[in-house]
Amino acid sequence: MYKNLDNTRLNAILAKEQARYEEYKAMNLKLDMSRGKPCKEQLDLSMEMLDCINSKSNLVRGVDYRNYGLADGIPELKELFGKLLGGLCKDEIIVAYNASLNLMYDTIQRAMQFGILGGKPWNKEEKLKWLCPVPGYDRHFAITELFGFEMINVPCDENGPDMDMIEELVKDPAVKGIWCVPKYSNPMGIIYSDEVVRRLASLKPSAKDFRIMWDNAYMVHSLYGQDELLDIYAEAKKCGNEDIVYMFGSTSKVTFSGAGVAFMAGSKANMDDARKYMSKQSIGPDKVSQLMHAAYFNSVESIYAHMEKHAAILRPKFEAVLEILEEEFWNTGIATWNKPRGGYFISCFLAEGTAKRTVALAKEAGVVFTGAGATYPYKNDPNDSNVRIAPTLPPMEELITAMRIFCCCAKVAYLEKITQ
């Protein structure tokens, strides 16, 4: 453990790591570890989907899928995703857009402008607050920041966000919602425990229009077989609380990122409320893309089978990262990290006050990591500790180099700090 070593010894290690750092710098690398993007091999997996529709295809299925109509998605996908979500009926699901962020943003914008289920528009509230389990997804926080919410950090452990704290916070009527990535969370890789899901589902916030934004982005993105996540909507129904949750998901990391299909789901009341405005906003979704997805995935099982292929590509990458972290940080006491069973990230907590410096050093050596702090509201990590590692995009060799550099930088940052 570094903290048990004397200054002479620490300076010696620092000198060694600095020398190593200079060697890395001399390699003139240009590696990008910043975003949770699928790699080429993953994208190649779905190329055959593009053969599912061609000029010989019959696109007239009662409704002509090449024409206007089916404003809230094609029945084939509503059924498929409805099954994936545990058996929803067609009124409880909307399939629209090429990715789910748009659905989430629009949902909050609608609440701001028009209110929810006839309630007061959020724009007319004095003060707006939002709960943000941390660390979390930067694009979520960017939306609630844009709309002027005061974002409140809620710490997470391996079971999910701190429910005692949440149950206390929702007594404030200014608190209008919470972001959740409940399965293989971004970036912690947490699967919310049954108890956390049940307590979320049965929340009784002061604000009647409080909503859980249940971004189930990685619902099928397992590395070691499907793990169970309790069905929040079913739990909410049990306690007459079914309007509390909007569920979101997409095939962004199943088929193509940007050319996927996305859905939102929840109570008929919530969905009808959304449909009312969406019918003014849009003439309907891209039914050709939707039908192509439906032709490629004709069952829930076919989605799971497809995700197995993703897992086969990603497992070695995640395991390589974990091995390097273990080897490099063994007996240093300067870092902890999660070992996710799915999702897109490994979340690394460095010694307090060293994340920014670590990422800056890595950048100087040609390796871009997600900005330190990006996983917190206002890009402000109060401990300057968390770094999100995205192992999916780089080829294995680059990934290994990037991770070696990351660990070296983290050590330099720590040793610089305590030997000052």
Q: Which residues bind a second copy (CB under 8 A)?
A: 35, 37-38, 40, 43, 46-51, 53-55, 57, 60, 64-69, 97-99, 101-102, 105-106, 109, 112-113, 123, 139, 142-143, 146-147, 252, 256-259, 277, 280-289
Per the CB < 8 A criterion, the answer to whether 112 and 218 are in contact is: no
CB of 106 to a second copy, least distance (A): 7
In terms of CB distance, is 55 or 420 closer to a second copy?
Answer: 55
Closest distance to a second copy from the beta carbon of 57 (Å): 7
- Residue 109 or 226: which CB sits closer to a second copy? 109
Q: How far is the CB of 102 from a second copy (least distance, A)?
A: 5
- Return the DSSP state at 152: E
CB of 103 to a second copy, least distance (A): 10
Q: In sequence order, which residues have a C-beta less than 8 Å from that of residue 187 and are 6 or more positions away?
A: 135, 136, 137, 345, 346, 347, 375, 386, 388, 389
Residues in the chain: 420
Integer Cα distance of 21 and 401 in angstroms: 12
Q: How far is the CB of 65 from a second copy (least distance, A)?
A: 8
How far is CA 408 from each of CA 107, 274, 281, 308, 393, rounded to the nearest angstrom? 43, 49, 51, 33, 21
32 or 416: whose CB is closer to a second copy?
32
Q: Rounded to the nearest whole angstrom, what is the least distance from the CB of residue 188 to a second copy in the complex?
A: 21
CB of 68 vs a second copy, minimal distance in Å? 5
Give min distance, CB of 145 to a second copy, in A: 9
Is 12 or 47 the residue whose CB approaches a second copy more closely?
A: 47
Would you say 47 or 89 has its CB closer to a second copy? Answer: 47
Pick between residue 98 and residue 241 the one whose CB is nearest to a second copy. 98
Residue 285 C-alpha from the chain's centroid: 23
Amino acid type, 379 = K
- 10 Å CB burial of residue 218 (0-12, 13-18, 19+) is buried
Residues 6+ apart with CB under 8 A from 153: 132, 134, 376, 377, 382
**Nearest 10 degrees: CA dihedral of 190, 195, 196, 198?**
130
Nearer to a second copy, 196 or 278 (CB): 278
Closer residue to a second copy (CB): 163 or 278: 278
Q: Which residues contact 232 (CB under 8 A, 6 or more apart)?
A: 182, 197, 200, 201, 212, 214, 245, 247
Q: What is the spatial distance between Cα 284 and Cα 278, in angstroms, rounded to a whole number?
A: 8
Interhelix angle 75-84/287-296, rounded to 10 degrees, is: 50
